[in-house]
Structure 1
Amino acid sequence: MTDTVEPDAEAGPAPKGALTPHTPLRRAVMLVNPLSGSVGSRAVGEAEGILADYDLDAEVVVLDGEGFEAAIDQAFASKPDVIFVLAGDGTARSVASRAKPDGAMIAPLPGGTMNMLPKALYGTADWKQALRRALEEGEPQYVSGGEVQGEYFYCAAILGSPALWAPAREAMRTGKLRLAWQYGRRALKRAFTGRLRFSLDGGDRRRAEALVLISPMISKAMEEPVGLEAAAMDPSDASQAFRLAANALFSDWRHDPAVSTRPAKRIEVRARSRIPAVIDGEPLLLKPDAVVRFAPKAFRALTPRPPAAEDSV
């Protein structure tokens, strides 16, 4: 006969997890959109469970259609140390764009489709892992970015006809072949119908099929946040243009011989018609005259120290 061990009623609750030693965390708000890309209906309960593991005044807020903007406004008004965002790519960009460099830290978790910003900050598509790493290892990190016609981006912006291939790629990725074919046909029709004219920091105007602007956080060509890495795609024929479009979306297009890059803080772009663009994974149309401005300290993120910085300590 084996003895049964009765739980110690006086033992009390389990000890809380240790929060990051790199910055004080007392209050947090987590915005969750269960209907977004990869979030799901169980996310709210799972988030509450994770946050309860830490000695933290935390609140989980569900974003819905009617009170969407009001919930975000209230999150900032409550003056938390950090606002976690588990929602689509567009919502993550919207929340980050409202933050100030000296305001609440923002932690955009991977809950969208492309998750460009969360993957750049946390190196994972697992939002639970990213949340725990931010809580246990996070420190304030200024994130640079760019702004064009009121839209902010923190990873990359593609301007010009290759941007039209992004919706086709996403439709292929999700198995929507008919929609992918429709997007592909539209991209083929738009290709070569409108080249861009652009200038970098007031320099001479140049022409290109497309212009790609990469933030210092993503750029492999810049060690310091001195501007956006501007890469001009200038194919000489149709086969080169399609190769560039594929490289821009599926591999490192900067190794392509038809691409030239340099840093810039103000980029003026002009076209004969509205300019197709992809801003941190979100497709949109810009006006024919667009000015892109570099934002050296767009917001503060709560993110683990980059590996390079850890290795140098």
Structure 2
Amino acid sequence: MTDISTARPETAGGHAITRVSVVLNPNGGSVPAEGREILQALLDDMGVEARFEIIDHDCEDACKRARDHGSQAIIVWGGDGTAACAMNTLGPDDPPVLPLPGGTMNMLHKFVHGSDIDPGTCLEAVLKNPVEMTIPAGEVEGHRFYVGALLGGLTRLAAPREALRKSELLQAVTEFGEANAFGLDTPMRCLSDTGKTHEAQAIGIFLSEDPQKPGFDILTTAPEGLLDLAYTGLTVLLADWRNAWGVERDFARRVDVEALESTGIEATLDGEPVTLARSARFALIPKAARVLTARKE
């Protein structure tokens, strides 16, 4: 992590940031075991008073406690799911969120901070020259997501993939079996507001990474037969499923998805599992949450 020298952090309105709340997820994919001590030292060096809330089981409760500290900003150190939880919990009149990258993919953090997502670099840059920005979200059945939604039986592979990432091979094998990984046949139909229709076994609906082009990047795949489905499943398990063979792409601001042979749609929203109704509409919320980024020189 980048070392941080003394700085004069100011808010977007020009007032010095002297008090922050920190929501820290010790189980974030790249948050070190000594994360609290590291972040405390960095903030002390910058003359910023910090109150910490550590997530154990309830992210929402930790975010509410952080809100009640009367801070000028809320630093959230964790992955995409942790950041999404904070932004779903905090309202427009609450302090803005400074998301620090501490997950595996950190897609939201790349959108907010750019390509350099070293936590120390992000913290220094934002607290020196903070700029408040409003970011979009996707919404389905009252649930919001800020990175993306994965739909279909392939979402069951999230748990074994996480175990593999942590090198817990035995746990990964157990999770793989419990996921019924070869029972992933979940046909769906996807209709975008561009008029395009896709038949798919797996669907990804991601917020556009281009701030000038808000909307959804849609990825669909429909493997034919068990071998193709198994191949796609292993790609999901070992890498980024968007690189799997046979993926089609689309772009839209509204997406309707229908399960063709089941009563519900298996999904993960920013990594959190949910079961949606048989027919679900995904809509774009152009201004969904307030975050702090660094001033662009």
TM value normalised by structure 2: 0.78
Q: Deviations over 1:131-181 (max 9, x none)?
A: 223212442222222123343221121101222233222222222223322
Counterparts in 2 of 1:68 and 1:174: CA distance versus 1, 3 Å = closer
Distance (whole Å) between structure 2 residues aligned to residue 66 and residue 244 of structure 1 = 32
Q: What is the identity, as a one-letter code, of the residue corresponding to 2:67?
A: F
- Aligned partner of 2:218 in structure 1 is 230
- Aligned partner of 1:295 in structure 2 is 285
> Which shifted more, 140-149 or 67-76?
67-76
Distance (whole Å) between structure 2 residues aligned to residue 97 and residue 67 of structure 1 = 13
- Aligned partner of 1:10 in structure 2 is none
| Aligned positions of 1:1-313 closer than 5 A | 16-19=6-9, 23-24=13-14, 25-26=16-17, 27-34=19-26, 36-40=28-32, 42-56=34-48, 58-63=49-54, 65=56, 69-78=60-69, 80-87=71-78, 89-100=80-91, 103-122=94-113, 123=115, 126-185=118-177, 186-192=179-185, 194-201=186-193, 206-217=198-209, 223-225=212-214, 227-245=215-233, 250-251=239-240, 253=242, 256-271=245-260, 272-304=262-294
Deviation at residue 298 of structure 1 after TM alignment: 1.5
Distance (whole Å) between structure 2 residues aligned to residue 64 and residue 22 of structure 1 = 28
Counterparts in 2 of 1:242 and 1:120: CA distance versus 1, 3 Å = farther
Distance (whole Å) between structure 1 residues aligned to residue 58 and residue 230 of structure 2 = 43
8 A Cα contact 1:146 1:215, kept in partner: yes
Name the SS of the counterpart of 2:45 in structure 1: coil
Q: What is the identity, as a one-letter code, of the residue corresponding to 2:77?
A: L
Deviation at residue 65 of structure 1 after TM alignment: 4.6
Name the SS of the counterpart of 2:158 in structure 1: helix
Deviation at residue 71 of structure 1 after TM alignment: 4.3
Name the SS of the counterpart of 1:299 in structure 2: strand
Counterparts in 2 of 1:187 and 1:201: CA distance versus 1, 3 Å = farther
Distance (whole Å) between structure 1 residues aligned to residue 283 and residue 175 of structure 2 = 29
Counterparts in 2 of 1:22 and 1:167: CA distance versus 1, 3 Å = same
Deviation at residue 98 of structure 1 after TM alignment: 2.5
Q: What is the identity, as a one-letter code, of the residue corresponding to 1:190?
A: G
Distance (whole Å) between structure 2 residues aligned to residue 141 and residue 233 of structure 1 = 34
Identity score, percent: 26
8 A Cα contact 1:216 1:229, kept in partner: yes
Counterparts in 2 of 1:67 and 1:288: CA distance versus 1, 3 Å = closer
Deviation at residue 248 of structure 1 after TM alignment: 5.4
Distance (whole Å) between structure 1 residues aligned to residue 156 and residue 195 of structure 2 = 27
Q: Deviations over 1:270-297 (max 9, x none)?
A: 3514433232233444343433221211
8 A Cα contact 1:143 1:296, kept in partner: yes
8 A Cα contact 2:190 2:198, kept in partner: yes
Deviation at residue 299 of structure 1 after TM alignment: 0.9
Q: Deviations over 1:77-119 (max 9, x none)?
A: 4554321012454332211112345653212223345544334
Equivalenced residue count is 287
TM value normalised by structure 1: 0.74
Structure 2 gap ranges (5+): none
- Aligned partner of 1:8 in structure 2 is none
* Structure with the greater alpha carbon radius of gyration: 1
8 A Cα contact 1:33 1:64, kept in partner: yes
